[in-house]
Structure 1
Amino acid sequence: MLQTPEKFLRWSSGLIASMALFAIMWLTLIDVTGRKFFNHSVPGGLELTEILMVIVIFGALPLVSWRSEHVVFDSLDAVVPAWLKGIQARLVHLVCAGTFGLLAWLMTTRAQRFAEYGDTTVHLQLAISPVAWLMAALLLLTALVHALFVFSPPIPVAHGETTP
């Protein structure tokens, strides 16, 4: 039913996150090899790793939300009546959509401030605002995923997995 949004998420945020993770892997390999054998590390390697980690984490958020692979507190599920679980799921998605939307808005204000002040990283002098704008966009995308689930929550299947 909702195959197109999952495909879009895989090819947008999933691809961004996986490329950043792949870059971290190679950066770490080159950095460790350089330190071990040439007594020289990659200049600004820590800054690059930090930026790439942000991209991995925020890039994965929409997919994690879409697949309902986030941490779930289910200790009370045994005592919650079945008729209430659907309402509960919609309320949780509404709260998540609002929270991620608020975080996206806060991140846009922060990104704007970074751009106005011309903030850069210390060693490589890379602009911080594009990373903050990307974070805001991925937070907004996550909010939209949860907003979609307010109206059409994922359907639970075997072994705790869900399908949208």
Structure 2
Amino acid sequence: MIQIFLDRTARLFALAGGSILLLIVAMSIVSIVGRKLFSLPIPGDMELLKVGAAVAIAGFLPVCELQGYHLRAESFTSAAPRLIRRVLDAIAHLLCLFAAIVIAWRTGLQTMDNFEYGDQTTLLAIPLWIPLALIVPSFLLLALCSLNRFSHILMNSGEDT
């Protein structure tokens, strides 16, 4: 049941991230065409690109972890015994869990600071706490997905992950 919840939620985050990226691409095309043909780019297009890409990329991380699509250096471990590979995978998921928790925690603190001090982007004056607040749930979900992968390795010691 937890696996189904994590899978559906991670896919939802990834779909949201993909939708944001599609919007960014469309905006970039309109801005480039407007700049080249009419000397009318979209004001703040680079700010929107940076903010949107950060939120989108964070949304992809949980599904990558849950499905095991993160970058791996298997060429170094492919000849190792299965037990060694499983131990290394478990350590990698624990490190991902730790990193996700730290990043979520620190990003949450940064969100509160930016809200308190009113930090905003230069051209469009987008409050920076908004994209930061959208990133935090992705890292919390990443932590849960890492914990799930780690527990899967522990519970299924006789199977490949």
TM-score by length of 2: 0.88
Paired position in structure 1 for 2:6: 5
Shift of 1:48: 0.6
Paired position in structure 2 for 1:17: 17
Paired position in structure 2 for 1:98: 98
Paired position in structure 2 for 1:118: 118
Shift of 1:105: 0.6
Deviation track 1:25-83 (CA, whole Å, cap 9, x = no partner) reads: 11011101111221111011111111111112111111111111111012332453222
In the alignment, structure 1 segments of 5+ residues that lack a partner are 157-161
Shift of 1:85: 2.6
- What does 1:84-163 align with in structure 2 at a 5 Å threshold? 84-153=84-153, 156=160
Identical-residue share of aligned pairs (%): 24
Question: Which whole-Å CA distance do the structure 1 matches of 2:27 and 2:61 have between them?
Answer: 23
**Is contact 1:14-1:59 (8 Å) kept?**
yes
**Is contact 1:17-1:57 (8 Å) kept?**
yes
**Is contact 2:66-2:148 (8 Å) kept?**
no
**Is contact 2:62-2:145 (8 Å) kept?**
yes
Q: How many residues align?
A: 156
Shift of 1:16: 1.6
Question: Which whole-Å CA distance do the structure 2 matches of 1:100 and 1:41 have between them?
Answer: 37
Shift of 1:109: 0.9
Question: Which whole-Å CA distance do the structure 1 matches of 2:7 and 2:46 have between them?
Answer: 33
Q: Which protein is richer in helix relative to its size?
A: 2
RMSD: 1.9
Question: Which whole-Å CA distance do the structure 1 matches of 2:71 and 2:89 have between them?
Answer: 14
**Is contact 1:16-1:55 (8 Å) kept?**
no
Paired position in structure 2 for 1:52: 52
Shift of 1:18: 1.0
Shift of 1:5: 2.3
